[in-house]
């Protein structure tokens, strides 16, 4: 794609996209599509199916689902007829879909844009239109089996991304354990959710600040706050579950007891599924949304989580004096915690809000825009990213005034390649000089050239040349083949090159698969 700087508008007209939105183009869109494809591959490996819901819903479908954040919903203008709003996330449309179709069970994934009329902050990746990628399991099953599957999927997703393996942590907690602990500490029933929200801020604020909010902001007894602090510092592997189960005051609480039994069973399953090494049980994880009823989790990665050192806090407090925006440090996506790249949990009541008939659900939402930025930063920048996928450029060789450009011959060869499924281009110029054709191939980073010459054509021959070979390479000048063998010769070379596919570090590697298959078939 050719470009020349920024475009200029005509007259007073503003040549731009709306605030908080963007065009995706070039190598950005190539990488993003590759990430989507990796995710989809994982989802399908676990039996996932996709659904596609409208971008707008009846406004009443969204009403009463997002609390405070409802003010961020984009409404369509009332032009007569139904009153509609753009979707705010993919979870509520999924719950509406399940209720409307009386779905008993489904494993569904959905990658699509959602809309929030938030104050955009591009530098922080907070947009008004952005992608979500959700995987959810609806249906009644034996305890913790779907939950374990979601976390296994989460592990496979991040392992499938280049540069991520071993560099992420799945933080997990359970609403029932958390509520039990709050009850044990003496938090009044009507303050459970608001204290939970305060605790959730511990990933970006120090305890002193959160304590102040609880005591001064929410009127909590300071002693109760200090008891909470004893519990929410707990963090670690599955031993945390045993530690808590060994405290008599904890297991005496029915909610905490149930939650810990869930968690113990989950850890047993995650051990078999090899997810435990990535897991951190974290009593300070609370998650903002009200609708979670069981396990909750979020994924953080190196550099994605903001530090909460006192220096940072001092900085932040200074900043807050200048700016009146309390959301300044809020991430793009409230369903994803600050600094996290994926988040979710069990929500057994949401579908029931629509149909009156509850269907247990558990799911996760991947913050694909943020995953995109981090992956891009981690990618080996020395790797050539091609602007398109063209494998072959068809070029005519010739010199002097009498050189016709061999346009019909170039078209004929391109046609033959397309018929065989090979990605090919030629220069759309009739009397094209050899040099300008060759340059077009180089500019497009096309790896192979098929070179036609008048003498070779008479002998029914054609040259295959790999682009960018060093000067001393034996095939620097290309290889002459019979026209009739062109497709087979090219396909063999392309198949060999395919093994260099960049974005497949984990399971399902094609090259590896092929080797193994070949072995089996011997």
Q: How many CB atoms lie within 10 A of CB 210?
A: 24
Minimum distance, C-beta of residue 324 to its own copies, in the bound complex (Å):
17
The number of C-alpha atoms within 13 Å of 61 and in the hemisphere containing its C-beta is 27
Letters for 367-406 (x = contact with its own copies by CB under 8 A, - = none) are --------------------xxxx----------------
Of 149-168, binders to its own copies (CB under 8 A) are 149, 152, 156
* Element holding 413 (H helix, E strand): helix 407-419
Minimum distance, C-beta of residue 129 to its own copies, in the bound complex (Å):
5
291 is in an annotated binding site: yes
279 is in an annotated binding site: no
Of 16-35, binders to its own copies (CB under 8 A) are 16-19, 21-26, 29-30, 33
Options 122, 480, 501, 507; binder of its own copies; rule CB under 8 A? 507
What residues have CB less than 8 Å from 249, skipping those under 6 apart? Answer: 184
* Cα radius of gyration rounded to whole Å, the chain: 29
Options 62, 99, 199, 395; binder of its own copies; rule CB under 8 A? 99
Could you tell me which of 412, 421, 419 has the C-alpha nearest to residue 450?
412
Tokens standing for residue 10:
């005509």
Options 35, 39, 57, 350; binder of its own copies; rule CB under 8 A? 57
Minimum distance, C-beta of residue 280 to its own copies, in the bound complex (Å):
21
Residue whose token pair is 């009386």: 102
Tell me: does residue 52 bind its own copies (CB under 8 A). yes
Dist CA 220 CA 223 (whole Å): 8
Beta carbons of 468 and 384 less than 8 angstroms apart: no
Tell me, what DSSP letter sits at residue 216? I
Options 67, 76, 186, 501; binder of its own copies; rule CB under 8 A? 76
Options 186, 222, 237, 408; binder of its own copies; rule CB under 8 A? 408
Tokens standing for residue 276:
């435990």
Options 68, 79, 311, 460; binder of its own copies; rule CB under 8 A? 79
Comparison of 306 and 352: residue with beta carbon closer to its own copies: 352
123 is in an annotated binding site: no
Tell me: does residue 106 bind its own copies (CB under 8 A). yes
Minimum distance, C-beta of residue 371 to its own copies, in the bound complex (Å):
16
* Element holding 164 (H helix, E strand): none
Options 8, 323, 435, 460; binder of its own copies; rule CB under 8 A? 8
Tell me: does residue 497 bind its own copies (CB under 8 A). no
Of 419-458, binders to its own copies (CB under 8 A) are 419-425, 428-430, 444
Tell me: does residue 10 bind its own copies (CB under 8 A). yes
Task: Give all strands (DSSP E) within 164-244, no chain letters.
Answer: 168-174, 235-236
Helical axes 145-159 vs 254-272, angle rounded to 10°: 50
Choices 80-88, 220-228, 365-373, 465-473; region in contact with its own copies by CB under 8 A: 80-88
Letters for 315-354 (x = contact with its own copies by CB under 8 A, - = none) are --------------------------------------xx
Q: How many CB atoms lie within 10 A of CB 214?
A: 24
Binding residues with its own copies: total (CB under 8 A):
121
Beta carbons of 347 and 292 less than 8 angstroms apart: yes
Could you tell me which of 65, 157, 164 has the C-alpha nearest to residue 364?
157
89 is in an annotated binding site: yes
292 is in an annotated binding site: yes
Choices 176-184, 203-211, 311-319, 501-509; region in contact with its own copies by CB under 8 A: 501-509
Tell me: does residue 46 bind its own copies (CB under 8 A). yes
Which CA distances in Å does 518 have to 169, 296, 501, 511, 513? 37, 43, 19, 11, 8
Helical axes 368-378 vs 26-45, angle rounded to 10°: 110
Comparison of 145 and 377: residue with beta carbon closer to its own copies: 145
Letters for 269-288 (x = contact with its own copies by CB under 8 A, - = none) are x--xxx--------------
485 is in an annotated binding site: no
Burial class of 220 by CB neighbour count within 10 A (0 to 12, 13 to 18, 19+): buried
Give the burial string for 452-473 (b: 16+ CB within 10 Å, else e).
bbeebeeeebbbbbebeeeeee
Q: Binding site residues for L-histidine, as ranges?
A: 89-91, 116, 132, 136, 287, 291-292
Q: Binding site residues, as ranges?
A: 89-91, 116, 132, 136, 287, 291-292
């Amino acid at each position: 794609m050719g470009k020349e700087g920024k475009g200029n508008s005509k007259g007073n007209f503003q040549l731009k996209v709306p605030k908080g939105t963007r065009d995706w183009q070039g190598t950005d869109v190539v990488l993003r599509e590759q990430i989507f494809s990796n995710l989809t591959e994982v989802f399908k490996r676990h039996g996932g199916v996709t659904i596609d819901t409208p971008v707008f819903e009846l406004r009443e479908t969204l009403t009463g689902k997002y609390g405070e954040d409802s003010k961020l919903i984009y409404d369509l203008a009332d032009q007569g007829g139904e009153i509609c709003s753009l979707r705010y996330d993919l979870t509520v449309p999924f719950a509406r879909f399940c209720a409307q179709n009386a779905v008993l069970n489904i494993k569904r994934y959905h990658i699509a844009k959602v809309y929030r009329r938030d104050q955009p902050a591009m530098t922080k990746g907070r947009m008004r239109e952005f992608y979500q990628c959700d995987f959810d399991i609806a249906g009644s099953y034996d305890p913790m089996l779907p939950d374990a599957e979601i976390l296994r999927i989460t592990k496979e997703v991040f392992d499938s991304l280049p540069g991520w393996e071993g560099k992420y942590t799945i933080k997990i907690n359970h609403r029932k354990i958390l509520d039990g602990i709050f009850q044990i500490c003496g938090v009044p029933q009507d303050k459970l959710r608001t204290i939970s929200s305060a605790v959730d801020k511990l990933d970006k604020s120090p305890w002193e600040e959160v304590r102040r909010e609880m005591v001064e902001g929410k009127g909590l007894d300071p002693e109760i706050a200090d008891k909470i602090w004893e519990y929410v510092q707990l963090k670690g592997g599955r031993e945390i579950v045993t530690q808590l189960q060994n405290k008599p005051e904890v297991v005496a609480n029915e909610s905490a007891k149930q939650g810990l039994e869930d968690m113990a069973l989950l850890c047993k399953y995650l051990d078999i599924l090899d997810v435990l090494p990535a897991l951190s049980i974290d009593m300070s994880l609370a998650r903002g949304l009200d609708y979670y009823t069981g396990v909750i989790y979020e994924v953080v990665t190196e550099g994605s989580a903001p530090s909460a050192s006192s220096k940072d806090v001092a900085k932040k407090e200074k900043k807050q004096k200048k700016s009146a925006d309390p959301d300044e440090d809020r991430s793009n996506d409230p369903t994803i915690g600050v600094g996290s790249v994926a988040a979710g949990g069990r929500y057994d009541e949401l579908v029931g809000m629509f149909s009156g008939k509850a269907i247990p659900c558990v799911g996760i939402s991947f913050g694909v825009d943020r995953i995109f930025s981090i992956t891009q930063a981690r990618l080996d920048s020395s790797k050539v990213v091609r602007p398109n996928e063209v494998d072959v450029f068809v070029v005519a060789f010739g010199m002097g005034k009498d050189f016709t450009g061999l346009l019909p011959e170039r078209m004929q060869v391109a046609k033959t390649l397309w018929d065989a499924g090979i990605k090919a281009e030629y220069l759309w110029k009739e009397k094209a000089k050899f040099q300008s054709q060759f340059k077009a191939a180089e500019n497009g980073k096309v790896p192979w050239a098929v070179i036609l010459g008048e003498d070779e054509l008479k002998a029914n021959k054609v040259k295959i040349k790999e682009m960018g070979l060093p000067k001393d390479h034996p095939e620097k000048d290309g290889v002459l083949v019979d026209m009739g063998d062109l497709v087979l010769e090219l396909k063999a070379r392309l198949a060999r090159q395919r093994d260099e596919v960049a974005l497949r570090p984990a399971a399902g590697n094609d090259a590896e698969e092929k080797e193994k298959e070949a072995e089996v078939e011997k």
